[in-house]
Structure 1
Amino acid sequence: MEDAARLRAALAEVAAGRLVPYLGPAVSALGAGGGPASPEALCALIEAQVRPPKRAAGNLWAVAQYVESRRFRATLEKIVRQAFAAPAGPNPVFDWLARLRPPMVVDVWYDGGLIAAYRAAGGSADWGWVQGVSRNGEWDEIWFRSYDATSALRPGGADPAWPSLIYKPHGLAAEGTSFLMSDSDYVEVLTEIDIQSPIPDAVQARRGGRGFLFLGCRFDDQMLRTFARQITKRSGGGHVAVIEGPLTRMEGLFLEELGITRLDLPLSAVVAQLAEAAA
C-alpha cells in the first residue's frame, strides 16, 4: 500500500475512533497568525526579549529556565502568553477534529487553536480538556488540571462521560492557565512520568485499545520522545506518523521502538485528503 493510501486509511481510523490524533506545532502552523509554530521560533522570540548565555541559546527549555531564574516566572509567563495572544486563522485539521469530536485528541503545542475550533464548531458543550501544569508556586502535588467547554475548572477531573477530550500535556499559554516550559517545570514530571503519575486517568482510560496518528510532530528532542513514549504507553498500538523527509538517527530508533509506521508525506497531504473527503 502506498503512503497516500495508508494516510487515507489512518484518517478513516481517526473518524472511527480507533486512532487518537497526536498533534504537534506544525499543525498549529496551518492556522497562520496564531503565534510561533515551532520550539525554535518560540525560543527565538523569547531570546529577542531576554538574552540568554551562549550555552542555553537555541534550547527552548534552557532559555525558559534562564528567564525564570533571572527575571522570575512572571516574566516568562508574560512573554509566552503574549506570543500566543493573537487568534489564528482557520485551521483545516483543527476544524475537522472539532466537527468530528473523536474520543481524544492530544495537542502538544501551547496555543489554544484546537479549543477555539471546538467552540466555533458549536453543537453540544459536552467536552473539555485536561492539561499539564507547572508546579512553580504550587504547594500541592498537582500534575494536571481539567476544564469544561466553558473554561470552568473541574476539581474532580475530566468527566468520563464527555464524548471528546482534548489533552494538552505541556499546558496552555493563556491567562488563567499554566504551562510547562522551563527545565525546573519538567524535572519532577520526568521523575514520575515512568510510573504514569503525571498522565491523567482520563487519558490512560481513553488510550486503551487505540493507536495514535502523529501529525506535525518531530521526535528529534529527548523531551518530546519521552512524553510521546509515556502518553502512548499501554495503548492499543498500530501507530502512524506523517513525517516528511530524512529522519535523525534518534527519530528512526524511536519510531522503531514504538512500532510506528512512518508515512513520508508533507502535512499538506493531510489537508488535501481532508478537503477531498469534504467535497
Structure 2
Amino acid sequence: MTPQLRSQLLAGLKDGSIVPYLGPGVLADVRNPATGEAIPADSDSLIIAMNGGKPMAPKLMYEFPRAAMNIELKRGRTTVTKFLNRTYGETTWTRAALHDWLKGIAPHYVIDINRDTQLQDSYADVPHNLIVGVARISGTAFRYKIYFWDGQAYQPSELINTAIPILFKPMGTPRPEGVYIASDADYVDFITELMGGFSIPPEIKELRKGKQYLLMGMRLNRDTERMVMADMIWSAAEPAGWVFIAEPTDKERRYCKKIGLEILQCDLHEFIGAAIAA
C-alpha cells in the first residue's frame, strides 16, 4: 500500500466518504480474559462453539447458517439465540485493537456484520442510531429495527437522525435485545427482503449514495456474505472501494473485479499499526 492510498483511506474514513464494513477478522485478537480462548467470530469457530467445542458433520461445517439451521430444526430457534446471547452478551472479552483504532477515528456511519457489542461500546459516550437486522417476523415487510442511544439506554425509534452517528448491525446484536440473523431460514428471509429494499431504512438508502467502502476482516468466498454485502453497498461510487485480503483466491479476485472492489494484499492489523498474537 502506498502512503498516498493510506492517507486517502484515513481521510475518507474521517470525513464519511468511505464507510467501514467490518467482518469477523477484525476480532482476531479478542480473547476471553479468564481462559485465553479466542472469541468465536468466523464461521468455523462459531459452529464449533455452538456445538460444545466439537466440529459438526462436514456438510454442516460448510457455513454457520447451515449449522445453525440444523440446530434450530433439532432444538428450536431459541437454542441458537441463547447461544449467541451467551457468547456475545454474557461473556467478557478483551477489546479488539481494530475497534480501539476505529473509535479514535469515529466514523459517522459503520456497517458491522459481527454480532458482538464492541462497536456499540465504542460509541457509548455519544448519542447514536442503531439499526439491527431482523428476520421472520410477522406484521411487517421491514427487516430492521431502529434504536436511539441517548447516552444511557437504547430507545425504540421510528426514524434515523442522520446528524448523529449511525451503527448498522445487519446480523444482529444482544443489545438492547438478542435479535439475530443466524440460520439459513433467517438469511433467506433477510436477503429476500434486502433485495426488495425492505432491509435498509430509507434514510440509509439516501445517505449511502456515492459512498465508497473499506471492507476489513472480510473474506469474499462465501455466497451468503457476498449477497448481503452487495446489497448493503448498493449505489456506491465507482470504484466501490477496497477490501483487505492478504492472500486472495482466484474466486475472490474475479468477484472483486466484477463488483468494483480493489484488493489490498496487506495485513489489516499492520495497516492500523497493531500487532496480534499468533
Relative to the length of structure 1, the TM-score reads 0.86
* Equivalent pair of 1:81/1:175 in contact (CA under 8 Å): no
Task: Map Cα deviations across residues 78-99 of structure 1 (whole Å, 9 max, x no partner).
Answer: 1122122323323332223334
User: Corresponding residue for 1:22?
Assistant: 21
Mapped partners of 2:198, 2:159: distance in 1: 14
Conserved in 2, the CA contact under 8 Å of 1:212 and 1:237? no
Q: 1:201 to 1:31 in 2, by over 3 A?
A: farther
Letter in 2 for 1:62: R
**What is the deviation of 1:139?**
4.2
Matched, 1:153 2:161: no
Counterpart residue type for residue 160 of structure 1: T
Pairwise CA RMSD: 2.4
- The 4+ residue runs of structure 1 with deviation greater than 6 A are none
Deviates more, 1:90-99 or 1:211-220: 90-99
Distance in 1 between the 2:197 and 2:258 partners? 19
> 1:20/1:114 Cα in 2 relative to 1: closer, same or farther (>3 Å)?
same
- Shift, 1:199, TM fit: 1.8
Q: 2:143 matched to which residue of 1? A: 143
CA positional deviation for 1:54: 4.8
User: 1:39-74, CA deviations, whole angstroms, 9 ceiling, x for partnerless residues?
Assistant: 211111112379855532342111101111110111
Asked whether the 8 Å contact 1:145–1:157 carries over to 2, the reply is no
Find the partner of 1:40 among 44, 63, 68: 44
CA–CA separation in structure 1 for the residues paired with 2:129 and 2:101: 17
Show the counterpart of 1:134.
135
Of 229-238 and 81-90, the range deviating more from structure 2: 81-90
Query: Could you tell me whether the CA contact under 8 Å between 1:88 and 1:113 is conserved in 2?
Result: no
TM-score normalised to structure 2 length: 0.86
In the alignment, residue 215 of structure 1 is paired with which amino acid? M
Q: What is aligned with 2:118? A: 113
> Identity of counterpart residues, as a percentage?
22
Whether the 8 Å CA contact 2:141–2:198 is kept in 1: the answer is no
Going from structure 1 to structure 2, the CA distance change for 1:127 and 1:197 (only over 3 Å counts) comes to same
Given that residues 101 and 272 in structure 2 are in contact (C-alpha distance below 8 angstroms), is that contact kept between their aligned partners in structure 1? no
Q: Secondary structure, in 3 states, of the residue corresponding to 2:255?
A: helix
Measured in 2, the distance between the counterparts of 1:200 and 1:72 equals: 30
CA contact (8 A) 1:35 1:111 kept: no
> Greater shift after overlay, 200-209 or 68-77?
200-209
- Taking structure 1 as reference, are residues 127 and 271 closer, same or farther at Cα in structure 2, changes over 3 Å only? same
Where structure 1 has 5 or more consecutive residues not aligned to the other structure, the ranges are 275-279
Partner of 1:103 in structure 2?
Answer: 108
Q: 1:61 aligns with which of 62, 65, 85?
A: 65
Count matched residues.
266
Q: Which has the higher helix share?
A: 1
The secondary structure found in structure 2 opposite 1:145 is strand
Write the deviation string for residues 142-188 of structure 1: whole angstroms up to 9, x where unpaired. Answer: 300111224423231322332x1111111114562301010111112
Aligned equivalents of 2:55, 2:265: Cα separation in 1:
37
Q: CA 1:40–1:5 in structure 2 vs 1: closer, same or farther (change >3 Å)?
A: farther
Mapped to 2, the partners of 1:202 and 1:98 lie a distance apart of 23
Q: Distance in 1 between matches of 2:181 and 2:94?
A: 25
Q: Which runs of 5+ in 2 are unaligned?
A: 33-37
2-structure distance, mates of 1:7, 1:151: 36
